[in-house]
Structures are given as C-alpha cells and as structure tokens.
Structure 1
Amino acid sequence: MAATDRREAWPELRSNFPLDSMRSLARRAEWRPLGITADQLDRPKVAIVNTSNDLAACFAHLDGIVSVLKEELRALGILPLEIRTSAPSDFITSVGRAGRYVLPARDLITNDIEVMVEGAQLDGMICLSSCDKTTPAHLMAAGRLNVPTVVIPCGYQHSGLAADGGADIEEVFLRASYHSIRGGDQAEMEAMADTAIRGPGVCAGLATANSMHMIAEVLGLAVSGAAPVRANSERMWDSVRRSAAALAHALRHDVRPRDIITADAVRDAVTVMLSVGASVNTIKHLQAIAVEAGLDVDVWEAFRSRGRTVPLLASIRPNGPHLVEDLEDAGGAATVLRELAPLLHPDRPTVTGQSLAERLEAAAPADGTVIRGLGDPYSTRPSIVVLRGSLAETGSVSKRPIPDPGPYTFTGPARIVHSREEGIQAVAEGRIRAGDVVVLRGVGLEGGPGMGFVSGLIFALEGAGLAGRVGFVTDGQYSGLANSGVMVGEVSPEAATGGAIGLLADGDPIAIDLEAGSIDVLVDPSVLAARPPFRQPERPADHHEAHDAGPVGYLDLYRSAVQPLACGAVLCPRPGAGPGACPAEPERPAS
C-alpha cells in the first residue's frame, strides 16, 4: 500500500507532523538506523508497553510476546515501538525499605508511560500486563492519556500445586513466614521453593495480579476471554493476536479509554470482584483508575454497599478451595460476567466494538461447581468488607475466608505498636494477650511511606496461637492469605495525616463489627481531640533496608505527593475527579 493510500485508510494521526518540519526530519533521522523505512513513517505509531525484566518469573515471557505482537501489528499497517517501564515484583522488590517501594511503583509506571507516549506523541498503546502493579498502572495511564489502548493480561504461572499437588508461590510465602518465626526443616522449605513455580507468569491464585487481569476484561479494555489465562498457552496467544486487531479497530474508529472506562464499567468491576472474592487491593486500584479517567465514583462506597447484595459465585485460592486453573477452564471472567448479567450494565461498549451484552452472548454458562449462578451462590456474605466509623472515617477493609466461620465482631483494648518488628517482639514477650486489639499504626501511605507489608506480625500472632483470639487493626496493608479472625487494614485517615488511629492510647476500647461494617474507638470524641497529635516515632532500620539513598529519594517524593486512599492513592489530585472530589483528610498536625 502506498504511503498516500495509507493516510486515507487511517484517520488523522497526531504523530504525523508536516514532512518539512524539524520534528518530522529529526524523527526520520533517529528511526532510519532502527530499520524504519520512509513508507512506514505515516502509519499509526503505537507503543508496546513492556514491563520485562530479569527479577522475577512474572515477566520472563514478555519479550517473546513482543516479537509476535510486532508482527501482528505490522501486518495490520501499524508501526509498533516497544517501550520499557519500571516493574516491581511483590516477592522480589519488597525487600528494600521493608516493602515500601511496591505500591509507589504503580504510579511510577503510570508516569513512565506518560513520559514515553506523550513525549513522543504516539497514537496509541498496547500494554503487556503481568505482575500486581503493572495492570492497574496500565489502566491508570490509559485513563489519563486517553489514547486508543488495549491491555493484554499475560497469564499466570504453572505451579507445583497444579502440576503434582505440591506448593505454589502463595503456599511458599505462607509457610516461609511461619518457618522464619517458628523454625523447622530448612531442607524441606528449600525443596518446596525449588518446585513451586514451573513456568513464567503471575502468581497462580486469585490474588492481586489475576484479579486485576480480570478487571481489565470486565472494564472492556481487554478482549473477551483474556483472563485468567495460562501464560504461554494457546489461549493466551489467541488473546495476543485478537488484541492487535482490537487496537487497529480502536485506532480506525477513534475508540478511546474514557469511552470504555465509564462509571458503569467501574461499578460492574466492583460487582465482579465481590462475586469472586478478589484481592482487597482492587479497591484502591479501581479508585485510582476512576480518578485517572476523570470519574466521580466512590469505589470504596461501592464495595461497601454492594457487598451486602452481590453473592459469591466462585471460591478460588487463596480465598477458597479451587485453583485459578479451574476458574479459567470454567469460563473465567467471561462466564462470571454472563452469570452476573442482571446486576450489570450490558449496553456499555468495549474496545473491540462489541457491547458487553454481545460479549456475554458468546460466553459459556456456569458449570455450577467452580462458577455458580445467582440462584445458587457459595455465600451471600461478602468476602471483602469495607468498614467505616470513628476509627476509620473514610474507610478500611477486611478480607474474609470462604466459607467464613467467623467471628464477625470483636471488642477489646488497644495494644499499640509502630512497626512489624516491634509487634513481633511484643508477641514473643507475651505482651499481647487474648482479647486485645493489636494496633499497628504509622505505616500507611505517608507514614510508611508507601504502605509496606505487615503480614509478618499477623503470622506471628497465628504462630502464638492468638488467631481469632485477638483483633488486628492497621493503617498499613497485609496479604489476603492472612484472613483468619477479625483483622482490618488500610485504615483511613491514617495516623500520619491526623486520623483517629494516631490519637489512640493503650487500653482504649475498640469495637469492630463486620456485619454492620463499622469500626469505632469507644472514647469520647472530645477526649480524643484533646490529645496531642500523632508523631512518627523513630523506627530502627530494618536489616534489609538500603543505606540512606541521599537527601531526596523516590519515597520522599511519594510521601509529598500521594493522595488519600479515598482518591486511590494517586499522586497529586485530579481536578473534578474522585469521590466528591476526594474527601479532605483531617487537618495535619504541626511538624
């Protein structure tokens, strides 16, 4: 096809500069050594957003996807240009600074994409989504930049659990946590670690990565049948090829992410996540996606209110007995959507040009075992509970197992610690007793900064025989594997920004009611208000922490720019977006 004919085949492209301009000629000079010929210069120029690196199995197969995707896009008359971004792995890049880099990396990826795609004025992007933070970052960037975009969920790893009944990475994480506290057979643990992961891809369970892969499909920016999917399977490769065609459609018809990521789409994603007992991280990620897409949607309240009406249709590890392979084989996100159709918005569009209703017509019905119908759910009790009250005015969250044996309420005196290590020491010394509510504070978005993982303290409580016999409250975050007893995380406002959790004193009674969705400190508000403001105590450096990175590092910048969880923990506010323009935090204490 001649260059002039190609211009007629595509709509006007922002990447096509006047041929005699400095930008056009400089770009021609830079690209010619890369093998890009003159007749390719007026094609749609699309970023393949690759998050490949050598740090984890999650990313090991992405370069192979890029080569196939380039061929598919070129055959469609598109010029693909691969770009790279940051990409954390929760199990690898959580070592430095006690895990505080992991959540902030989500927004770093989003900004990486903006710099590369906007800086080069590319016409669209196709994003290879793998580990936990890459998918929300890709969806956030899509909402922010609003150029034609398709997200490809790149699949989950083959695990020892699925292969021969051994362990998967989640089992290694859980048992290794106990092992580090209790001790045991080191050789047995090493053998488990050596055989847990049998191939590339994300963790083999319905944790954050597979939950977010499903969200990409539910929102409509991924093709139907894309999630969950085995990495490097024929189904994944079919999704890759169909994704290239979907991007060509979006470019030709000017289909943009904000046409797809609507308030109805976000609420549908909430419904699906509740119906499968997904990761609690989907709350803040969906809120961030909504904010970046310019939507006034309170995702926290949507989880809170819909949790009382959306039944649980699937029960997948780590929340239940079935494997993610079972979920895929039973139809995955497409079948769950089909069964939830009466609760959804079927007329909304997707990136392929189909409506959601048209997608549902082609989906397989529920098998009644792995995925159930609305009339025969696993449970009507929510597996994700959003709580609010005097201790968490803007929100907090609890993850529940399925089936849920309770308890559902807990009242006890606060026992306050300010780091995971301090809490583990208190457990070891017997200072935490049955009936207490352990409060780990000052580890939130700003207090961390970056909301590091505190699961080690929960595992220590379980190891001491206190699971279900103490409550647990934190403004940090913990793994969905830790879901026994009454535990509440991501309390907001956090201690560092003036929240009530920072005003607690040892012995203050705390009442948690998962049925009512409430969490309160039973102290007169005037007494709380009269207390001095929270001050972050000095924490001894974790032995894994890097030495001082200099006067200003990324986490310092993150602390100064991060917005509250009610805004999805995005960096800097988006005017006119977010729930009620994102509720203001209480006035901060003087430094």
Structure 2
Amino acid sequence: MPNRSLLRACGMTDEEMNQPIIGVVSAYSEIIPGHINLDKIADAVKAGVRMAGGTPVLVPAIGVCDGIAMGHIGMKYSLASRELIADSVETLAQAHQLDGLVLIPNCDKIVPGMLMAAARLNIPSILVSGGPMLAGHFGGEEVSLSKTFEAVGAYKAGMMDEATFYEAECNSCPGCGSCAGMYTANSMNCLSEAIGMALPGNGTTPAVSAARIHLAKHAGMKIMELIEKDIKPRDILTPAAFRNALTCEMAIGCSTNSVLHLLAIA
C-alpha cells in the first residue's frame, strides 16, 4: 500500500496501476544531435504502450556525443559511459520493479549500454532508436560528418579557404539523427535488428521521417506482446542471434567498434 500511495503522488490511477508498468528509458538531451528528437520518439512509444493496454513511465538515461567529445579529454569518458548507462538502466528497473522496458538510445555507447542492461535484467525489453541523420550537401555532393574531418586537413594544408571551410561546417550535418555513415551508432542500430532486439527498420528509417514515429508506436505496442508471451532478452540473445549479428556486421561494413559491444552484450 505505501508503494501504491507513492505512485498516486505521481498522478497514477487505479486503472494505470492494474496494468503492466513499462519503463520508457529515454536518453533525450539537447547536446547530442542523435538525441535531440528522442522526446518525440518517447511520446510515440508511450502512445503505443497505452494503445496496447500498458502504463508507460518515462525514465532517463545519459549519453555522450562521441563527435563533440573528440579531440580533448572528453573522449576518455565515452566508453566508460556505456557502463554507467547499463548500471543506471538496471538500477531504475530493479528499484521500481518495472514489468517491461522500451529502450530509446541512438548514439555510439548508448545503444550497447542499454542492450547490456536488458540482458542483465532479463525482463521483457525492446529497443527503438532515434534514427539516422540525413546526408548533408556540400560542394555539389552528399556528405556526412567525415567531410568535416577531411576539411580540417584540407584547410591546414592550404587547399581550402576559410569561407569554404565554414560552408563545410554549416552543411555537413543537416539536422537531428545519428551521424550519417556506418559509424558505431548506425552500426549498432542495424545490429539491434539483426540480433532480434529491435523491430525491422530500426537501423535505417531516417530520424526526420514519419515512419520513425510509426516504428516507435509499434515498439510501444510490441512490448505488451512480449510481456503477454513472457519473451525475455535471454530468449532472444542466443548464440545463433549473435552469429546473425556478426554476419550482418560483415555484410554491411559496420564499425569495428561493434565487435567490442557485441562481446560486452554477450
């Protein structure tokens, strides 16, 4: 009864407490381009959970943007953040005895960190990311973040003037989403599908598309099916599933970092 009293203080009704309570774990922040849209993804997930007869509760997770953390001491915090994320998701879920989880990451260490937590907890869980960034346009071609690194070299070598250098800065990353290219974020979001922890399209549906919102709603509905059928992460994360993920990794040319993360999840 004291536990229910505290849930009532959060605005929860009898009807909501009598349904499965789903942790919607959002790594939304305003410092990571891959995460600035996760508030919209979380809202869509919550709508899907409610449509399927569950009670969603939003809970937080941290994240580091590897691009912004690059070139200074911040990069020393990136991989370590994966363990913090896994620990925090485990703590939130166990402390509040949530019935299921919808995990909402997008970028490099956040995706594996949440998958590690799901494997530890072994309660019904599904992952839906924020989606990849669209390509930028510069110099008459489609470009991505890698163009900015190339531009630094060209500028230092005297092969690019300051105005063009600034143009590359302004046009390489056009909006929200995980950085365009097979870096760790897009790699792990694709492998989340291949390993069976995310719905088809998780790795490739653009961040700005309506289809990404549809996917998030379907993930919210799917968690209720996983609870009903008592399907847990360790039922999905089998040796065959890891082999499937590794096969996918080789087929699409994923980041070599994905090996590091698949080993950690395993």
Same fold (TM over 0.5): yes
How far off is 1:179 after superposition?
A: 4.8
- Equivalence map 1:566-577=2 (5 Å): none
2:157 counterpart residue number: 182
Q: Does 1:63 align with 2:44?
A: no
1:135 counterpart residue number: 111
Q: Give SS of 2:148's match.
A: helix
Question: After superposition, what is the alpha-carbon deviation per residue over 1:251-274, rounded to whole angstroms, capped at 9, x for unaligned?
Answer: 001100000000111011111111
What is the distance in 2 between the residues matched to 1:153 and 1:126? 10
78, 84, 104: which one pairs with 2:54?
78
Q: Give SS of 2:34's match.
A: helix
Q: Does 1:97 align with 2:66?
A: no
How far off is 1:143 after superposition?
A: 0.8
Contact 1:206/1:279 (<8 A) preserved: yes
Q: Does 1:246 align with 2:222?
A: yes
- Equivalence map 1:305-454=2 (5 Å): none
Structure 1 63/162 Cα, relative in aligned 2: closer, same or farther at 3 Å?
Answer: farther
Contact 2:155/2:165 (<8 A) preserved: no
Structural RMSD (CA): 1.9
1:257 counterpart residue number: 233
Q: Give SS of 1:58's match.
A: coil
Question: After superposition, what is the alpha-carbon deviation per residue over 1:346-383, rounded to whole angstroms, capped at 9, x for unaligned?
Answer: xxxxxxxxxxxxxxxxxxxxxxxxxxxxxxxxxxxxxx
What is the distance in 2 between the residues matched to 1:79 and 1:32? 13
Contact 2:151/2:168 (<8 A) preserved: no
Question: After superposition, what is the alpha-carbon deviation per residue over 1:96-125, rounded to whole angstroms, capped at 9, x for unaligned?
Answer: 525111111111111110111111111110
Q: Does 1:191 align with 2:191?
A: no
- Equivalence map 1:190-209=2 (5 Å): 190-209=166-185
Identity of aligned residues (%): 29
Structure 1 241/98 Cα, relative in aligned 2: closer, same or farther at 3 Å?
Answer: closer
Q: Which has the higher contact order (CA 8 A, sep 6+)?
A: 2
What is the distance in 2 between the residues matched to 1:174 and 1:140? 34
The AA in structure 2 aligned to 1:136 is P
Contact 1:94/1:100 (<8 A) preserved: no
Q: Give SS of 2:102's match.
A: strand
Contact 2:138/2:167 (<8 A) preserved: no
Structure 1 118/169 Cα, relative in aligned 2: closer, same or farther at 3 Å?
Answer: same
How far off is 1:185 after superposition?
A: 2.2
Indicate the structure (1 or 2) with the bigger Cα radius of gyration. 1
What is the distance in 2 between the residues matched to 1:61 and 1:164? 28
The AA in structure 1 aligned to 2:73 is R
Question: After superposition, what is the alpha-carbon deviation per residue over 1:412-456, rounded to whole angstroms, capped at 9, x for unaligned?
Answer: xxxxxxxxxxxxxxxxxxxxxxxxxxxxxxxxxxxxxxxxxxxxx
The AA in structure 2 aligned to 1:259 is D
Structure 1 112/174 Cα, relative in aligned 2: closer, same or farther at 3 Å?
Answer: farther
Question: After superposition, what is the alpha-carbon deviation per residue over 1:83-142, rounded to whole angstroms, capped at 9, x for unaligned?
Answer: 111101011133552511111111111111011111111111001121111111111111
What is the distance in 1 between the residues matched to 2:99 and 2:138? 41
Q: Give SS of 1:101's match.
A: helix
- Equivalence map 1:539-554=2 (5 Å): none
1:50 counterpart residue number: 26
Contact 2:132/2:203 (<8 A) preserved: no
Structure 1 163/272 Cα, relative in aligned 2: closer, same or farther at 3 Å?
Answer: farther
2:95 counterpart residue number: 119
Structure 1 108/96 Cα, relative in aligned 2: closer, same or farther at 3 Å?
Answer: farther
Structure having the higher helix fraction is 2
What is the distance in 2 between the residues matched to 1:223 and 1:83? 21
Question: After superposition, what is the alpha-carbon deviation per residue over 1:274-299, rounded to whole angstroms, capped at 9, x for unaligned?
Answer: 11111000111000010xxxxxxxxx
Structure 1 30/98 Cα, relative in aligned 2: closer, same or farther at 3 Å?
Answer: closer
Query: Structure 1: which 4+ aligned runs deviate by more than 6 Å?
Result: none
What is the distance in 1 between the residues matched to 2:192 and 2:220? 16
1:221 counterpart residue number: 197
What is the distance in 2 between the residues matched to 1:162 and 1:61? 24
Normalised by the size of structure 2, how large is the TM-score? 0.93
Contact 2:123/2:232 (<8 A) preserved: yes
Question: After superposition, what is the alpha-carbon deviation per residue over 1:470-515, rounded to whole angstroms, capped at 9, x for unaligned?
Answer: xxxxxxxxxxxxxxxxxxxxxxxxxxxxxxxxxxxxxxxxxxxxxx
Unaligned runs of 5+ in 2: none
How far off is 1:159 after superposition?
A: 2.5
Q: Does 1:165 align with 2:141?
A: yes
The AA in structure 1 aligned to 2:157 is R
What is the distance in 1 between the residues matched to 2:157 and 2:77? 28
Structure 1 180/162 Cα, relative in aligned 2: closer, same or farther at 3 Å?
Answer: closer
What is the distance in 2 between the residues matched to 1:259 and 1:206? 28
Unaligned runs of 5+ in 1: 1-23, 291-591
Q: Does 1:234 align with 2:210?
A: yes
Contact 1:170/1:203 (<8 A) preserved: no
Q: Does 1:289 align with 2:265?
A: yes
Contact 1:159/1:199 (<8 A) preserved: no
How far off is 1:235 after superposition?
A: 2.3
Q: Does 1:149 align with 2:142?
A: no
Question: After superposition, what is the alpha-carbon deviation per residue over 1:300-321, rounded to whole angstroms, capped at 9, x for unaligned?
Answer: xxxxxxxxxxxxxxxxxxxxxx
Structure 1 34/274 Cα, relative in aligned 2: closer, same or farther at 3 Å?
Answer: same
What is the distance in 1 between the residues matched to 2:72 and 2:91? 26
What is the distance in 1 between the residues matched to 2:252 and 2:258? 12
What is the distance in 2 between the residues matched to 1:145 and 1:162? 45
Number of equivalences: 265
